[in-house]
């Protein structure tokens, strides 16, 4: 972990360095590799209203 010291809470983001292997985020199409980035990061957190997109904090 990076920036995990208590005095850095709220000052710097905590970072996790993780190595893993998975075939769930890569698909082979002929001689091309497709990386499913959307699957990795998950669904968007924005909601769309008449005023455009807003995040949960902007409501």
pLDDT digit string, tens, across residues 5-54: 999 999 999 998 988 788 888 899 999 999 888 887 777 765 555 565 55
Q: Which tokens go with 22?
A: 């998975």
Domain count, the chain: 1
Q: State the pTM of this model.
A: 0.38
Q: Are 29 and 36 in contact (CB under 8 A)?
A: no
20 assigned to some structural domain: yes
pLDDT score at 12: 93
Residues 6+ apart with CB under 8 A from 54: 46, 47
Angstrom distance (rounded) from CA 51 to CA 58: 12
1 assigned to some structural domain: no
Is the pLDDT reported for residue 55 higher than 70?
A: no
Angstrom distance (rounded) from CA 52 to CA 45: 13
What is the span of the domain harbouring residue 32? 6-58
Angstrom distance (rounded) from CA 14 to CA 2: 6
51 assigned to some structural domain: yes
């Amino acid at each position: 972990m990076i920036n995990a010291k208590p005095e850095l809470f709220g000052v710097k983001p905590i970072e996790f360095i993780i190595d893993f292997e998975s075939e769930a985020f890569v698909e082979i199409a002929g001689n091309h590799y497709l990386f499913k980035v959307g699957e990795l990061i998950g669904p968007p957190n924005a909601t769309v209203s008449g005023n455009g997109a807003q995040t949960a904090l902007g409501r």
